[in-house]
Structure 1
């Protein structure tokens, strides 16, 4: 654990230029020689977790000299440590020598200013802390720490923040208002590596905790604490939102094989003790009390218990099992209660999308089921800050060229093949209506909605500029609609999709934010069967040759070929999303 010194002690050590190292922590200070242009540095290197073959580390660098517009930190290992993945810095390694350079958003360091970056690494034998660091070529090293601190405090305050954050205040009505949002450095690096990707690589996206192992991370992926530490580094003096996706229910996503999970239908106790409890313990750490943590709770779960069970043509045996055993409701209620009890956590429950729940037979029953889950396992509706729609989906935000009340030659557009008697044409109208319904059955009147706009832009050269021909309702709707999917029920790696509205707070009445919860470029599912250890199956809806089922009107799937398993990087899709972005990049 890194040690925090008193104000007077910090000042003296900075003046002397010292290095201390205890266990897996090193604090290194440096000053320039007399007559130089006053460069100087302090570096805290902390091993945050360690296992038999790997470790995670966090490095905080403080500039004690003149302001700099960019920085480079260098050190060398005495052993065989190898950096495998970093965040909040561009890290390279040649032999034992490691170089970390700032990224676009954290290069400027004022005098006394600090920034942090982290990484995962591998090792064998011992994992000794580096003895010497450089900042922009200045060696941060020095003498032995004195045993007695000075008695007169300096006039300037310390630059190192206290270890105990201030008490968390009342929850914000809208956590996104006036706040930055965490940029996931893992996604950002993948996006930036794509041609044209730097245009969006600074956008905030969700962090998906889609299996138990994702909590601690691995040698090649950041765990939850690593993300939260990186968020603290990005936060600065203002507010910052971190977006987490809670996604690991027993029998997960009972209607889609591509997103099946690791827990079997009856493993509710593992869900509680091995998944939710560890997440809650980390989020409840006082270290993170200054972050606004938004949790998207269990997408593609509760609505399945309404739409894909016996009595419906879309029924699946797996969804019948999950309805009968009650573990979706139990799991969601448990998650809401545990996470919602943390003062700075904001729970948003998944509420599907208009192409799933927009019919009367689905809309009301789903809202009632959401309330049932929100009041299960000791939870209450007060543990729900809001709901999210269109998560990882493609439904258009707002269709401008037709309305649900339109008719052509006396025939309602609701009879068109595309709308198919739905009550809504887009996600904005659906989200606002769902909000009103939820408030009417007992949820808070200040309930907020999120809309995932990561992949619903539908721009490019084929985007309509006006309504379709008035020949009949189908030509009118099809000629004017932005959403170019073959069917509203198509959900996997859709061809022709584009990035949607950039993330923004309070864009419309009742809407807390447009968000990119689904990281653009991450696959929805494999286009063919691919063996994996994540429990993810092959769903024919991800096969571009599939001719469909009752859930998509027996239509072609509309999916892209050569897709990897869900969550893995899909470069071809990312390039389409860039090309078809709306607003255009």
Structure 2
């Protein structure tokens, strides 16, 4: 059942309260929160009841600022009954009587114009929707509170001496095609790759998603001209750009291109090794990046917005899989020593960044890889080094992409990293393993903050690959566990159903995630399907091929694991083809387990 209240909305599901979870910054009395430098002129609130049970409910709240940027914010509402907030996440909450105040802090502490902040809480009582919300004292009615202009004293003012006044400096609210914008996904249509679309529509039920936009992967030099791969087909990069121009209508068209062919590519995984040897940086520059840049710089594509995702699974390896770490590999040590990952990424950023309508997003792993303090900050240092190498500057980096071709849940709805269960922190659980994050959205927002603190532009945006992280189906928990045992609580509550968060290859039980969406949350440029659903992560047994791709035991369903996945079973599907090739069984499983459902 779905109810549409006066302000916000409710999605009703069954649920149960979290047992033994401590409250966050809750208490009666007035708050002493600093007021923002600018007052909001308007706002809107999306209040969603995610779960409701006999004695309580879970609510997710998104507040969108329609006015001036706010440096700090307070959202206030009154419960319509005797509801009580019990614990919350991503905001500081307090309650006095029926009045609840939520305020931002840390990465969630400011809201730009047209930006949003998201938080949630568990409450006692019914999930009845509050009637009104105010942001820093302004009623959130979806509009602005600009007063009507005062009438002039003279109803017939004298005409000005200048019959043609100069136009104002206000920018056009609807950018023209080809105009540089802050978020290339906002206000744009996204390119639908006809090769992937044909593969999807050829599957039972695939028509339901065949029109979704997916990224184009240039995973070897031959893909630039067209090499009959599942992603490009016999269409080369120029053919796809021509098709993007043809698909464009009244709105700008954004085409997403994955640049993926570094020398010694993916030094920690055999299944995605590439065609270029570890020392072939010259070929990477002249035969790959230069050719791509020349095509993208063609004047006939100048009205397109081209989002490039730069070299997945590369730079983070130079932090986590080198030196004395027990996860180190000889190949990664070599790539750290020869500098060709940093050199190659820097060169790609420099050459592509010179093209006015290209927006570079550097791949930044995922929370299950870089979520620990010992990994996150050092990785951003490597990103910054690459962004200042081979002629590149930080201005060539428009943002970062996370969860590319991975399965980490966008958000874990039933617990937060700061929660406790029976006196134990969620971080202590075997699944979280002292990670600072439990999902991709909180990780992406934190990584963005860290990047800005280390010298990247303050307006960098994030992409989150949601193509395979929905984790729906019958195994998806619909409510928090009632167990007071920490590990049991986490195992029964988590929506990410992998055996271990280090598992990455053709994961059994995965489902399609959130559909591509522009500006879905603060600091996030888009949810995107970067990895086209149905394209394999790697072969489940040795297969000869001419693409340089090897056999990685993490793609073998019989493999019992290694130190990178806690010596756990791989969780991979059987009968998988070489990475990038069409995998019908995986596509069907992703379709069946989609969340939100495609039905």
Confirm or deny a common fold (TM above 0.5): yes
User: Is the CA contact 1:272–1:334 (under 8 Å) kept in the aligned structure 2?
Assistant: yes
Q: Deviations over 1:255-297 (max 9, x none)?
A: 0000000000000000000000000000000010010000000
1:167-206 pair list within 5 angstroms = 170-206=179-215
SS at match of 2:445: helix
In structure 1, what is the equivalent of residue 296 of structure 2?
283
For residues 178-231 of structure 1, give each alpha carbon's deviation from its aligned partner in whole angstroms, at most 9, with x where no partner exists: 100000000000000000000000000000000000000146521000000110
In structure 2, the residue matched to 1:267 is 280
Query: How many Å separate the matches in 2 of 1:485 and 1:353?
Result: 15
Residue in structure 2 matched with residue 560 of structure 1 by the alignment: 573
The residue correspondences of 1:178-327 to structure 2 (distance < 5 A) are: 178-218=187-227, 220-327=233-340
1:450-492 deviation digits (Å, cap 9, x = unpaired):
0000000000111101112333110111111000000000000
Once the two structures are TM-superposed, the CA of residue 169 in structure 1 deviates from its matched residue by 5.0
8 A contact 1:168–1:344 mirrored in 2: no
Contact 2:216 2:256 in 1 (8 A): yes
> What's 2:369 paired with?
356
1:138-183 CA distance string (max 9 Å, x none): xxxxxxxxxxxxxxxxxxxxxxxxxxxx997541100011100000
Superposition map of 1:374-453 within 5 A = 374-453=387-466
SS in 1 for 2:196: helix
Distance 1:262 1:418 in 2: 36
Aligned residues: 420
Contact 2:178 2:305 in 1 (8 A): no
Partner of 2:519: helix, strand, or coil?
Answer: strand
Task: For residue 237 of structure 1, report the CA deviation from its aligned partner.
Answer: 3.0
Higher RCO, 1 vs 2 (CA within 8 Å, ≥6 residues apart): 2
- Displacement of 1:236 in angstroms is 2.3
In 1, Cα distance between equivalents of 2:342 and 2:275: 18
Q: TM-score, normalization: structure 2?
A: 0.69
CA contact (8 A) 1:168 1:343 kept: no
Cα drift, residue 309 of structure 1:
0.6
Q: Is the 8 A contact 2:256 2:308 kept in 1?
A: yes
Contact 1:469 1:475 in 2 (8 A): no
SS at 1:257 equivalent: coil
What secondary structure does 2:258 align onto? strand
Calculate the TM-score normalised by the size of structure 1.
0.71
Deviations 1:321-371 (A, max 9, x none): 000000000000000000000000000000100000000110110011100
SS state at 2:560 partner? coil
Give CA-to-partner distance per residue, 1:53-110, whole Å, 9 cap, x none. xxxxxxxxxxxxxxxxxxxxxxxxxxxxxxxxxxxxxxxxxxxxxxxxxxxxxxxxxx
How far apart are the structure 2 equivalents of 1:201 and 1:371? 37
Mean CA deviation greater in 406-415 or 360-369: 406-415
More moved, 233-242 vs 322-331: 233-242
Q: 1:526 aligns to what?
A: 539
- TM superposition outliers: structure 1 runs of 4+ over 4 Å: 166-170
CA contact 1:507–1:514 (8 Å) conserved in 2:
yes
Say if 2:178 and 2:304, in contact at 8 Å, map to a contact too: no
